[in-house]
Structure 1
Amino acid sequence: MHYVKLYADAAGESHWSDIDITLAPRSFAPPAQDIEVSDPEPARRMMFLRLRAGWNEPIHPTPVRQKLICLAGSIKVTASDGQTRDIAKGDVWHMEDKHGQGHHTMVTSEIDFEAVIIQHE
């Protein structure tokens, strides 16, 4: 498993990186047998989000450190360094570009983009 991470360097330029998730067998729901699970991450809030088809926003940083899990539709996200990523159903995007130029997002699907946002702070 993996997710994509968008972060800002000290100069405020945003960049992408690919993060592999380490899974290990653990007792998650006793008495069920062990399952492969990652280390937990603290979360503060969870919400649902919808961007209507055709939505196109100006460049901005993320307001908080958060993860987005795409449920439907697709978006193209461009980091300030020019690299792009397509986020579609099942993809996970971790946002940490809280300062600097941020990123640009536009809906690329003909249907609305729907996601779950998990905020870490």
Structure 2
Amino acid sequence: MKYYKLYTDAAGESHWDDIEIKVEERSFAPPAQAIEVSQPEPVKQTLFLRLRSGWNEPVHPTPVVQRLVCLAGAIRVTASDGDFRDIGPGDVWDMQDKIGKGHHTRVTSDQDFEAVIIQFE
């Protein structure tokens, strides 16, 4: 498993990094069998998000460190360095570019983009 991490360097430029998720087999819900699971991360809140088809926002940084899990539709997110990721159903995007130039997001699918947002701060 992996997720896409968007972060800002010391010069304020945003960049993408593909992060592999480390999972290990352990007992998660006894008495069920052991499963492969990652380490837990504390979170602050969870939200649901919808961006209508055709939506195209101005460039901005993320307001808080948060993780998006796409449920439906597709977006293209472009970092300030020009690199982009196409985010679709099942993809996970970790937003850490709170400062600097930020990123641009637009809905690329004919259907609305729907996601779950998990905020860490």
State TM-score, norm by structure 2.
0.99
Task: Classify the secondary structure of the residue corresponding to 1:50.
Answer: strand
- How far residue 28 of structure 1 moved from its aligned partner, in angstroms, is 0.5
1:57 match: 57
CA distance in 1, matches of 2:101, 2:2: 25
2:14 match: 14
CA distance in 1, matches of 2:69, 2:16: 16
1:35 match: 35
Task: Classify the secondary structure of the residue corresponding to 1:31.
Answer: coil
State TM-score, norm by structure 1.
0.99
Task: Classify the secondary structure of the residue corresponding to 1:56.
Answer: coil
Task: Classify the secondary structure of the residue corresponding to 1:111.
Answer: coil
2:91 match: 91
User: CA RMSD of the aligned region, Å?
Assistant: 0.4
Task: Classify the secondary structure of the residue corresponding to 1:109.
Answer: coil
1:23 match: 23
User: Cα deviation per residue 1:1-29 (whole Å; 9 max; x = unaligned)?
Assistant: 00000000011100000000011011100
Structure 1: which amino acid aligns with 2:78?
T
The count of residues paired between Structure 1 and Structure 2 equals 121
Structure 2: which amino acid aligns with 1:105?
T
Q: Which aligned segments of 4 or more residues in structure 1 are displaced greater than 6 angstroms?
A: none
Structure 2: where are the runs of 5+ without partners?
A: none
Identity over the aligned pairs, expressed in percent? 71
